[in-house]
């Protein structure tokens, strides 16, 4: 019989002792008791659902497709530590079936005439531009309350997240739906958060992890003797993201004007219609009519739906240049990232802008 490694048994014992104390500290914060309670409960249930990947692979009753995905995941996990110099721990050497398509649902909120998100601050992660919920119904409830207050709201399902090394994060069933390469990319991305994380700077953290994900995936393909992935889909995503960023820039200019609310609302709606028109032109002239983004673009639009775009990509070119300056040496690159992260916020952003060219 394969058992949990001693480190996991010890962790479970420690958690049983610390969990009430952690809850006490969290619930005495500024956020609501109900919200922090669901966070602690959801994380606890996720940790309790973990089992070693080796146990799943050794069990003849395990689903054959699941075993095949997990086998490939462990090759990518080894590659992450051995070649990308990401943390070598038990994260993503465990598996958990949480019985739902997403691990959390993030709720993004802005004012009606603003692109500044409602930020929420947490003891470990610092301040982020959303609130996460382990139940979709709870996320929808929060969204409904915010809409009643006249806010723009968006809900986004999340396949995976990192506890930043506080716990051994498992591979989740929610990470398996898009194929082995996507799973490898998610592992690289989440381990990057463990490698370096800067409190209160979502754009920095997500751009860094996205670069590690993208460059790591390129090297992972090369190591397996595969040709570079087609740039066509990546180019489409870049173009689509740029459309949204351009729309955001126009809205920011609009919201700075001293206009009556009704006039502002009409101008806002006109900008969203322009976005859809620009999208159709791009789709039909350069994408041969590919409709992969149609469902997203034609859904009801608001400020909050635009927030995630740019968070994950804004500084990717800067990190790519930093990697180039590090001669493709991961250790030198991480050291440079740490030096960048140690700068005061304004100097850090100036340095990132300079690196971006």
Residue 14 in domain = yes
Last residue of a domain, one of 151, 180, 200: 200
Chain centroid to CA 200: how far? 15
Q: Is 175 contained in some domain? A: yes
User: Does a structural domain hold residue 220?
Assistant: no
Total number of domains constituting the chain: 2
- Spell out the long-range contacts of 178-183 with Cβ–Cβ below 8 A and sequence spacing 24 or more: 180/69, 180/72, 180/73, 180/76, 181/217, 181/220, 181/221, 181/229, 183/69, 183/72, 183/73, 183/76
Q: Does residue 341 lie in a domain region?
A: yes
State residue 40's pLDDT score. 87
Same domain, 195 and 65: yes
Average pLDDT by stretches of 10, the chain with 357 residues = 40 44 43 80 92 96 96 98 97 96 96 93 78 95 97 95 90 93 96 94 93 96 90 88 94 98 98 98 96 97 91 88 98 98 96 94
Supply the pLDDT for residue 34. Answer: 82
Nearest 10 degrees: Cα torsion 176, 122, 316, 72 = -20
Q: Provide the pLDDT for residue 26.
A: 43
Among 137, 172, 200, residue at a domain's last position: 200
Tell me which residue range forms the domain holding 326: 316-356
pLDDT reported for residue 280: 98
CA 78 to chain centre: 22
Residues 323 and 191 in one domain: no
Chosen domain end from 200, 228, 262? 200
* Residue 124: predicted pLDDT: 65
Assess if residue 252 is contained within a domain.
no
Residue 327 lies in a domain: yes
Please list, in sequence order, all residues whose beta carbon lies within 8 angstroms of the beta carbon of residue 203, skipping any fewer than 6 positions away: 310, 311, 314, 315
117 within some domain: no
The values of phi and psi at residue 51, to 5°, are -150, 150
């Amino acid at each position: 019989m394969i058992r949990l490694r001693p480190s996991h048994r010890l962790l479970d014992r420690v958690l049983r002792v610390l969990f009430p104390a952690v809850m006490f500290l969290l619930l005495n914060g500024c956020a609501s008791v109900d919200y922090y309670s669901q966070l602690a409960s959801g994380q606890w249930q996720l940790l309790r659902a973990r089992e070693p990947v080796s146990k799943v692979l050794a069990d003849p009753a395990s689903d054959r497709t699941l075993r095949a995905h997990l086998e490939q995941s462990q090759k990518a996990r080894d590659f992450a530590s051995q070649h990308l110099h990401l943390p070598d721990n038990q994260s993503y050497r465990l598996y958990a079936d949480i019985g739902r398509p997403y691990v959390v649902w993030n709720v993004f909120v802005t004012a009606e005439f603003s692109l500044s998100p409602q930020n929420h601050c947490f003891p470990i992660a610092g301040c982020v531009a959303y609130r996460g919920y382990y139940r979709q119904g709870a996320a929808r409830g929060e969204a409904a309350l915010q809409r009643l207050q006249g806010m723009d709201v968006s809900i986004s399902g999340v396949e995976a997240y990192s506890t930043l090394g506080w716990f051994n994060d498992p591979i989740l069933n929610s990470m398996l739906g898009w194929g082995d390469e996507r799973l490898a990319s998610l592992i690289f991305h989440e381990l990057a958060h463990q490698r370096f994380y800067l409190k209160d700077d979502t754009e920095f953290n997500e751009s860094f992890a996205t670069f590690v994900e993208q460059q790591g995936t390129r090297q992972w393909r090369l190591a397996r003797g595969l040709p570079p992935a087609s740039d066509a889909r990546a180019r489409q995503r870049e173009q689509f993201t740029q459309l949204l960023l351009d729309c955001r820039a126009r809205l920011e200019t609009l919201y700075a004007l001293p206009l009556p609310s009704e006039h502002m609302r009409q101008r806002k709606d006109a900008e969203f219609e322009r976005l859809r028109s620009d999208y159709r032109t791009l789709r039909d002239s350069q994408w041969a009519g590919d409709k992969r983004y149609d469902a997203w673009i034609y859904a009801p639009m608001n400020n909050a739906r635009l927030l995630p775009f740019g968070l994950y990509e804004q500084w990717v070119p800067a990190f790519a240049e930093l990697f180039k300056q590090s001669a493709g040496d991961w250790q030198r690159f991480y050291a440079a990232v740490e030096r960048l992260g140690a700068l005061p916020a304004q100097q850090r952003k100036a340095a990132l802008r300079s690196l971006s060219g």
